[in-house]
Amino acid sequence: MKVTGVDFKGRDIISIKEFSKKELLHVLAVAAQMERRPDPHLLEGKILAALFFEPSTRTKMSFEAAMYRLGGEVIGFASEKVTSVSKGESLHDSIRILGGYSDVVVMRHPTEGAARVGAEATDVPVINGGDGANQHPTQTFLDLYTIKKAKGRLDKLKVGFMGDLKYGRTVHSLAQALSHFKVEMVFIAPPSLQMPPGILEELNAKGVKFKTIQDLKKGLAGLDVLYNTRIQKERFPDEYEYQKVKGIYTLSEKLIPLFKKDLKILHPLPRVNELSPALDGTSHAVYFEQAKNGVPVRMALLALVLGAVK
Ligand code: CP
């Protein structure tokens, strides 16, 4: 069953672009309810299939924790090596079979568009846990939730995105979601890792005010929120291209004098060397809180697509 509109029951979550502003805000409101008063019986008898064809710590574990916290059960895998895909079974067939064993599927896959293939293979709702460099919509819901909690609003913000804006799927989804709000965007990246032209065109078409810049220090000016990202080594076509940009930025405590007093720093994690642990204890750091918010936000998404809440 593929439902569109404001009813989430049975709905796939493939791209953040499929959600209206009203729907984004509704998910955040349900997540806040889940955080305040989780019902440990809400999803009793339901099974989540967590199918991770690519490594994950936060997305996989927080979906599993969300399902268990609401009384549901989880099946799944963390590598295609332990599945019959390694014997040559198609993605379509695998998802069709696993949809038959579960009530909802969350899947991560290295290929762009894989989640869409999965959604076409089964009648149960399919949630995209990240497809290549394309989209990571559930990360975006928790990013919005974190920004709203940290800043008290999603409007009237100047938001910087730094690092790998080309291959980083989280920044693609987040920029598209924030385009619904009165947000000014600053894209801080070397030219070879800037936001894809298609996304910049979408932002232009929606009248979003943004600029692209390479200089980190200049890019920090006046930011309310800074979304830092790892250079996505695994997505580069060759090692030489990666070596050229590896370690290009490090957000460290030395840059604090350039921050607005109430700047909040987010990072989808994992981090490598682009975010100094020396910032962890400062009032700017909200990235560990952000990762924790994955549980109530994913509780909300599971409960909504399973029709347990409206
Ligand atoms: N933020 C995120 O997607 O983390 P994982 O790769 O650990 O799931």
Ligand 1 atom with the smallest distance to the CA of 108 is 8
Which conformational region is residue 211 in: left (phi greater than 0), alpha (psi within -120 to 50 degrees), or beta? beta
Range 14-35 average pLDDT: 98
Nearest to 12 by CA among 159, 114, 85, 154: 114
pLDDT for residue 5 is more than 90? no
pLDDT at 307 over 70: yes
**What domains are defined for the chain?**
16-135+293-305 (3.40.50.1370), 137-292 (3.40.50.1370)
Q: Is the CB of 59 under 6 A from ligand 1?
A: yes
Pair of tokens at residue 263: 């700047």
Q: Is 232 in the pocket of ligand 1 (CB under 6 A)?
A: no
* Tens-digit pLDDT profile for residues 98-133: 999 999 999 999 999 999 999 999 999 999 999 999
d(CA 145, CA 267): 13
Q: How confident is the model at residue 6 (pLDDT cuts 50, 70, 90)?
A: low
Q: What is the pLDDT of residues 191-240, one digit of tens each?
A: 999 999 999 999 999 999 999 999 999 999 999 999 999 999 999 989 98
Per-residue pLDDT tens for 142-194? Answer: 999 999 999 999 999 999 999 999 999 999 999 999 999 999 999 999 999 99
pTM of the prediction? 0.95
Nearest-CA residue for ligand 1 atom 3 is 59
Q: What is the overall mean pLDDT for the chain?
A: 96
pLDDT at 7: 85
